Structure 1
Amino acid sequence: MSYLGMVTEVVPFAAHGGEAGQAYYARPTTQQTVGGVVLIHHMPGWDDWIQEATRKVAHFGFACIAPDLYFRERPGSPDDCAARARAKGGVSDDQVMGDVAGAMAFLRAQSNSNGKVGVMGFCSGGRHTYLAACRLKRIDAAVDCWGGRVIVEDPADITPARPVAPIELSAGISCPLLGIFGNDDPNPSPKQVNETEAVLKKLGKTYEFHRYDGAGHGFFAADRPAYRPEQATDAWRKVIDFLDRTIGPRARFA
């Protein structure tokens, strides 16, 4: 059963390089200690849907923080900031990892924390989630939702900001990994998902992948034509169950 009471706010956190970042934070109103989730936004940015997804995670009984990876491009709307970041070639992997590490530290510092933190991301945030699972320490769970370019096929996708394909770092994964994918998605394609799974299996990693027919990229987002309610509902259940097993127990009604 979901936990209905929550508090939401925009909070400061210590971002990469000691900069003062901002994040959207939602937590259940409970006396229980709970696991935390860093939710990494997609390339469109720190938009309404990402904040809705943050509240959804808290609704199901976890503390959740969504750092604004484009805060350095302010002032302006989320769309404006995202456009400026994209025009510069996107944010660097090192910067994102620093921001995610800062958001993880924020969660663990809260009085409601049980000490466990997972990372979850969509689209480019799914790639960042996979990368964080490879590079950062003390991650207890990772949820990659259709992260593209984990496997790099176009040499142009290797840049100074993104100098290595995340798949090359897979040996560093030390937490359980959940993957959610649509079989109609070209990025990552079913072939790339198969290749990623083969690497994880060869390395003996703990993972589970769920693939959905009739679903493409971004099928969770109810404000987009790609939304697939049946597949999204089932996949969200699998996400919450995974988090309950890895960073839980989540807050529940008595």
Structure 2
Amino acid sequence: MKLIPEQIDRLYQFTRQHYVEWYDLQTELVDHLANAIEQQWQENPKISFEDALQIEFKKFGIFGFMDVVEKRQAALGKKYNLLIWKHFKSFFKIPQIIGVIIATFLTAGILKTIYFDDLFTALFIGSFLITLFVIWISKYKKKKQNIPNEKRWLFKEMIYSYGGLSGFLYLPFQLLNTLFNGSRYNVLESNFLLFTISFILVSFYLSMYIIMKIIPSKAEDYLKETYPEYALENAN
């Protein structure tokens, strides 16, 4: 026995009822459940569809589909981080590396000339404003893309939420607070430490640029590469 289209639709509804919001994960679970139910029918043709479904669902344990969701999120998170690393490495090839070197020297010059209190305040205010901007633009994009009955894709939401970037925007602020520890002179006595801090700051904001600009601009390519069914639906 094979599942009919109405039963497949029921499986999609079942996954949504159990808090699986993304179409790619729903499809993965529906395929698994459908194969398992058909296997049950081979062993016991008299069992009803709903009974077979409940038997398979119980095999997922007390947390239901949450383990599957978490594993998929972890896998896509790893894929996302690899994309960041791929683009980050591209900035350390000629001619991009020249810009990185210039930015590092400029940052070192700023750190060496500006008063620490002024720098600390500027970074705090800057990070706060950028955080607000990232949160606003993320919500705006989600609202814009939230078309009724449109399929949701986990990797797409990860890309357009900037990989949770807002939680890391205070890193430069925390870094300088820790390293300077209230006094800029300990750092300024060491050119090596000064340039190391400068390079870390440049790398951090370069990563922000990759997350907020480069990856979203290539989102369609990455989504089609990740989801064959997404590529078919957006072929035109």
Which of the five TM-score ranges fits, normalised by the shorter chain? under 0.3
TM-score normalised by structure 1 residue count: 0.22
* Larger RCO (alpha carbons 8 Å, 6+ apart): 2
Normalized per residue, the structure richer in strand is 1
TM-score normalised by structure 2 residue count: 0.23
**Larger-Rg structure:** 2
